[in-house]
Amino acid sequence: MYHTSSATAIPHTYSSVFYNIPVLLILFMLVAQTAARPWKVTQSQNRIGAPEQRERERERERERERERKSERPQGTLWLLTIPNFEGSFFSCTVIMSAETAKEDYYDYPDLVIPPCDPKADESLFHICITVISFVVMLILLVLARRQKVVDSLKGVPALLSPVNFLDHTQHKALSVAVFGVLFCRLVGLVLSPTPLPFTKDTENKEYWLILALFYYPALYYPLLACGTLHITVGYVLGSLLSWTHFGILIWHKVDCPRTPQIYKYHSLLSSLPEIVCLAFLSFQYPLLLFKGFKGTEKSDPFEDLKSSYYTHYVKNILKKKKPSQASSSSSKPKLTERISDALKSHIYTPKEVFRFPLMLAISMVVASIALYQMVLLLVIGVVPTLQIVRKGVNEDIAYLLAGFNIILADDRKEVVKIVVYYMWCVEVCYVSAVTLTCLVNLIMFMRSMVLHRSNLRGLYRGDIYNVYNCQRSIRPSRPALVCWMGYTSHQAAFICLGMVIQTLVFFICFLFAVFLIIIPILYGKNLMVFRIIGKMWPFWLTLSLTVLIQHLTSRFFFIKKEAGTQDLTNRGGLFLLTYLLFPVNVLVGALLGIWRLVITALFNIVHLGRMDISLLNRNVEAFDTGYRCYAHYLKIEVSQSHPVMKAFCGLLLQSPSQDKGTGDAARNVEEGIQLVSQDKKQNKVPNAKRARGHWHLLYTLVNNPSLVGSRKHFQRQSSESVLNGTFKRNSKEGSKKEGGTTAASKE
């Protein structure tokens, strides 16, 4: 044991706030690990503690400390033993006086959350629900085979296809809700020490995590499959399953609202999206059951092709467009118009003639849940720790800083105020960074929805270069199919990774702004940054004058305007000035290079969560994995779910022998294609008119560039005879035909 005098003088060193920031941050990171555990000051010991023995050790330590209080000498050199989350301890030497040595134990009873076991055992529940789900799948399998035999239709959905992801007209709510539940479970099992509910083994967590990644999709699969067959039994089973999952989840959260992991209410708050999704399923399945009894919900394997959405889409693209006033006027748009256009480009407004594909709808909802989960994790994982550390700061921090030769003030109370103020500033910077990250991602979501619609409509028209930088054929392929399957998952992962990086970068920027600019200006001290800038004023003045001179001379001496055109003049002076300013422009270029690097980094960091734009140059965008996945995803969507193609297929399914209601729908399709106003009369359409409508739609299909790749004879053509989905025509006759059919092939 080492002893030192309590009156030992500590040499006064620098007290600059700027120089103390790195050490303070290191100390904060050191102390932050004790946020949810009590601090212990023991006498020259370094122990290895086990989690199951901590409570016993605390009681023993209290008894020992009571016995040793009277025996401790004045001004003893003690070791601050701090437990970390793994159970081990690390020590830090501090100098304590006799007064502070009396208060040697810091107890935080509110922070110690005991493990909670709900009354409804989770492992028993999962065993039962797994058996029930298996029985439900067997029942659905029998019903699917019986329905397929009765209907004698190959289009009846199979059991292994819970939902048609290429159907744009079906109700997307069930699929979106199930995917939301599945993603919430994924977040929970990644953070849980026991990812698989059947076992409490934490030693082999990695293996149980891999099994859990396949278990939960199989567990929630029946929730999707129950709505596939569109029958009463399926809706009844779906209602029972959704009610069971929802009820047990609510029971667990009511029994154990607080958990010891990360933060006491993290489990409750993170399960809110899952509760909302299960509550929606518990309401939606009974609603579908009620519609089934009422007769409004019908089972039709060709419901997608018979939807009026595709016919309305064809009517909209074939009707004559009225010339807008903005396009007719040659004047430049006003400032207010520019601002409104910029706002409209970032705000998504629904349109009747366009529907998002199911996969895009799922990806946007899952991305929103990922945004919520990441904001929750970033906030409650750090902010409570900052608050606990800030409240736990006392006069002992002065001795701790003195061990690093840091003297913030002579008075220990003043030191406490300074440290608490610094920690409060760090907390404000962090909360501001998380808030800015959340706002940026919300704006990116809205902009992505607008761009998704623009890209899909462009590809429907055959505008290949709107998305791709080179010649591409819109047809299914192996890479395109792989990217289509993983698009939703990749979008959620990009959001999570992007938010972590954005928060870190914004937090560092706020720290520099607060501790190097705002605080020095408010208190008039430690103006080191301003002093450096002030000493370099001749350099900044020279660069500014150089740039200003170049702009002024270019505006008034080297450019002349004659007859509404601009041309160069005084070329000799221009060449002389270019030569004289070469060295200074090198320095200007260095500053512009730094600015370019900063802007590029910030742009890529802000847009990291978006897959609909490339973060690389147009010529190398294929190396951007996110944009490449998005571009391939669009290939599958456009080639398999083109509205014009589905309108044609739906028209072929309608026969003259159909009932009266179906005949009315067929007449509406043909009249809309021919741009004839609908009279909604009950008389039959003449055969010539019907054939003319079929021919117009067929002609549109033949000449649409984005649909050429779907034809069989096109797939047998050589690659040299095709350009961006359109056949090459070398003869004049072919070019004339192409020019004459431009208007018909736009859509």
CA-wise closest residue to 696 among 638, 653, 644: 644
State the average pLDDT over residues 78-83: 40
Would you call 670 helix, strand, or coil by DSSP? helix
| pLDDT confidence bin for 298, thresholds 50/70/90 | low
| pLDDT confidence bin for 40, thresholds 50/70/90 | very low
Its sign, for the CA torsion 551, 554, 560, 561, is negative
- Return the axis-axis angle of helices 272-294 and 232-255, rounded to nearest 10°: 150
On whether both 509 and 422 belong to a single domain, the answer is yes
Domain assignment of residue 314, yes or no: no
On whether both 217 and 351 belong to a single domain, the answer is no
On whether both 193 and 296 belong to a single domain, the answer is yes
The answer to whether the predicted template modeling score (pTM) of the entire model surpasses 0.85 is no
pLDDT digits (tens, 9 = 90+) for 322-365: 655 544 445 567 777 777 777 777 777 777 677 788 888 899 99
Residue owning tokens 């159970």: 87
Complete DSSP assignment for 582-641: HHHHHHHHHHHHHHHHHHHHHHHHHTTT-SSS-SS-GGGGGG-HHHHHHHHHHHHHHHH-
State the average pLDDT over residues 255-283: 86
Task: List phi, psi (to 5°) of 83.
Answer: -80, 140
pLDDT at 695 over 60: yes
Q: Give the chain's domain count.
A: 2
Structure tokens at 488: 């939703």
Domain assignment of residue 697, yes or no: no
Last residue of a domain, one of 655, 678, 693: 655
On whether both 500 and 617 belong to a single domain, the answer is yes
* H or E element that contains 737: helix 732-740
- List the Cα angle 497/630/273 in 5-degree steps: 50
Beta bridge partners of 560: 567
On whether both 435 and 292 belong to a single domain, the answer is no
Burial 617-632 (b: 16+ CB within 10 A, else e): eeeebeebebbbbbbb
Domain assignment of residue 98, yes or no: no
pLDDT digits (tens, 9 = 90+) for 484-502: 888 999 999 999 999 999 9
Say which residue, 254 or 730, is predicted with more confidence.
254
CB–CB of 471/575 below 8 Å?
A: no
* pLDDT for the residue numbered 280: 92
Distance CA 449, CA 364 (A): 8
pLDDT at 395 over 50: yes
Domain assignment of residue 216, yes or no: yes
On whether both 400 and 294 belong to a single domain, the answer is no
Burial 117-141 (b: 16+ CB within 10 A, else e): eeeeeeeebbeebeeebeebbeebe
Burial of 519 (0-12, 13-18, 19+ CB in 10 A): middle
pLDDT digits (tens, 9 = 90+) for 569-603: 888 888 998 999 899 999 999 999 999 999 999 99
Last residue of a domain, one of 284, 301, 318: 301
Amino acid code (one letter) for 187: V
State the average pLDDT over residues 297-326: 64
pLDDT digits (tens, 9 = 90+) for 429-469: 999 999 999 999 999 988 888 888 888 888 887 777 777 77
Domain assignment of residue 391, yes or no: yes
Say which residue, 194 or 97, is predicted with more confidence.
194
Q: Which residues contact 616 (CB under 8 A, 6 or more apart)?
A: 623, 624, 627
| pLDDT confidence bin for 692, thresholds 50/70/90 | low
Would you call 20 helix, strand, or coil by DSSP? helix
Domain assignment of residue 556, yes or no: no
Distance CA 217, CA 221 (A): 6
Rg for the chain, CA atoms, rounded: 35
pLDDT at 656 over 60: no
CB–CB of 434/378 below 8 Å?
A: yes
Would you tell me how many other CB atoms lie within 10 Å of the CB of residue 413? 11
pLDDT digits (tens, 9 = 90+) for 171-228: 778 889 999 999 998 988 888 878 888 877 777 888 888 888 898 888 898 888 888 7
Spell out where 456-605 has E strands: 559-562, 565-568
Residue owning tokens 């006086």: 97
pLDDT at 310 over 60: yes
| pLDDT confidence bin for 301, thresholds 50/70/90 | low
CA-wise closest residue to 388 among 36, 25, 21: 36
On whether both 375 and 297 belong to a single domain, the answer is no
On whether both 270 and 177 belong to a single domain, the answer is yes
On whether both 289 and 380 belong to a single domain, the answer is no
pLDDT at 316 over 50: yes
pLDDT, averaged across the chain: 73
Last residue of a domain, one of 264, 281, 301: 301
Domain assignment of residue 415, yes or no: yes
State the average pLDDT over residues 633-644: 83
* pLDDT for the residue numbered 463: 76
pLDDT at 513 over 60: yes
On whether both 226 and 350 belong to a single domain, the answer is no
Q: Which residues contact 627 (CB under 8 A, 6 or more apart)?
A: 611, 612, 613, 614, 615, 616, 621
Domain assignment of residue 59, yes or no: no
Burial of 331 (0-12, 13-18, 19+ CB in 10 A): exposed
Beta bridge partners of 39: 106
* pLDDT for the residue numbered 599: 93
Q: Kindly list the distances between the CA atom of residue 610 and the CA atoms of 21, 144, 445, in Å, as whole numbers in the listed order.
A: 35, 40, 8
Distance CA 76, CA 44 (A): 10
On whether both 279 and 388 belong to a single domain, the answer is no
On whether both 462 and 516 belong to a single domain, the answer is yes
* pLDDT for the residue numbered 320: 65
CB–CB of 525/17 below 8 Å?
A: yes
CA-wise closest residue to 318 among 355, 353, 279, 360: 353
Domain extent at residue 645: 346-356+367-526+590-655
* pLDDT for the residue numbered 141: 83
